[in-house]
Amino acid sequence: MAANKGFFKKHMTTLKKVSIIIPTRNRVNYLERTIHSALMQDYANIEIIITDNASSDNTEDVVKKYLHDKKVKYFRNNYNIGMAANWNKALMKYASGKYVMLLPDDDRLVDNSYISEAMELIDRNLNVVLVFANYQEVDLTTGEILRKIKVNFPPIFDGRWFWIHYWENRDGINGIGCPQLTTLYSRNIAKEVGGYFLDVYSPDTLLVLHILLHGKVGFIPNIVAEYGIHASNASKETDGRVLYSDLQYIRSSAEYSMDMGLKPKEVERWKNRLMIFRMRHICSIYFRKLLNGNLLQVLEFLGLVRKNNDMKYLVYSILEIFYRKFKKLVSFRKEEI
């Protein structure tokens, strides 16, 4: 759906403001492409908030080149306050838009009309609390497009339905949710649910899950953004300790959904499915550690799992891993025959 330029010209004086938050720390090599992509958006009423979490490189010098543009605002913490706290500070204190997008400093928008199209979708439909779109993964070292994440949803659908089906497989892709780099959400509702209050690896996922329970979702099928793959974020995806502590967002969202009136059995099924889905990846990491002789790390992980009463998720995850490997083996043998 192309943005209706006539619609926006006619309603120029009433355009809702959009805040693009770019949190950053020591990623000056990627930051400029992110800022540039935000500035290229053709939506007329945006602000770009760069919140620097005490970078020790020349981030400030690079950002100064853009401060002549009144849309760009720069805030710097005197010390590292943590990722989630930095994001929350930008949302709660600095952002003034009715809608917000958090664009990480190693990602970028590639569709200059995305925010215009998203806001048109919001303006033409009641009670849309969040809009998202498709994206692609790119190797920031080579520039190679590694994967296109392209799924299909209706233009408008129910947020509670999406909460229930979050991280399910869709269109041949394993675990579909709202990609942070394309998600535009209501600032008022984000503030109401506490913003990025949980200091885990995925505070953005928790915020999205909370917001979904408050209204309808808009979807744009275009690929509108690039997720940058590099050594730093790839290493976090293979850190079992980080990913295990991240499971707290599932527990937190399950509790919140009960407060929002979802049925206990439905919530329990949802929680079990997501815990096993995420635990399966964590188990794979610790299997590799065990094969590499890191027995102590594996024992520490098992101790944490026992302490948090997560043994059932661990057992189900291991059974699923072996079942999938068995299915692949059987399929391979059938092809040989």
Final residue of a domain: which of 230, 261, 277?
A: 230
Instruction: Write down the pLDDT at residue 13.
Output: 53
Q: What is the dihedral of CA 207, 84, 51, 133, to 10 degrees?
A: -30
Which ranges of 153-230 does DSSP label H, i.e. alpha helix?
159-164, 187-192, 203-212
Which segment of 5-19, 51-65, 70-84, 106-120 scores lowest on mean pLDDT? Answer: 5-19
Longest dimension (CA), the chain: 70
Same domain, yes or no: 111 and 75 = yes
Percent of all residues in the chain with a pLDDT value above 70, rounded to a whole number: 91
Q: Which long-range contacts (CB under 8 A, 24 or more apart) does 302-307 make?
A: 304/244, 305/244
Answer whether residue 29 is part of any domain: yes
The arithmetic mean of pLDDT across residues 291-314, rounded, is 94
Same domain, yes or no: 77 and 193 = yes
Same domain, yes or no: 141 and 276 = no
Final residue of a domain: which of 230, 254, 286?
A: 230
Same domain, yes or no: 22 and 55 = yes
Same domain, yes or no: 224 and 262 = no
Which domain range does residue 267 map to?
Answer: 240-336
Domain tally, the chain: 2
CA–CA gap between residue 148 and residue 135 (Å, rounded): 6
In three-state secondary structure terms, 221 is strand
Final residue of a domain: which of 172, 199, 230?
A: 230
Per residue in 185-197, pLDDT (tens digit) is 999 999 999 999 9
- Token duo for residue 255: 């509790």
Per residue in 131-182, pLDDT (tens digit) is 999 999 999 999 999 999 999 999 999 999 999 999 998 888 888 999 999 9
Confidence of residue 306 (pLDDT cuts 50, 70, 90): very high
Same domain, yes or no: 214 and 279 = no
Residues linked to residue 23 through DSSP beta bridges, in sequence order? 51
Q: At residue 334, does pLDDT exceed 70?
A: no
Answer whether residue 139 is part of any domain: yes
Q: At residue 312, does pLDDT exceed 50?
A: yes
CA–CA gap between residue 100 and residue 47 (Å, rounded): 10
Confidence of residue 10 (pLDDT cuts 50, 70, 90): very low
- Token duo for residue 144: 């190679």
Same domain, yes or no: 208 and 332 = no
This prediction has a pTM of: 0.91
Contact 184, 130 (CB under 8 A): yes
Look at the block and give the residue holding tokens 């189900």: 316
Same domain, yes or no: 210 and 135 = yes
Contact 55, 134 (CB under 8 A): no
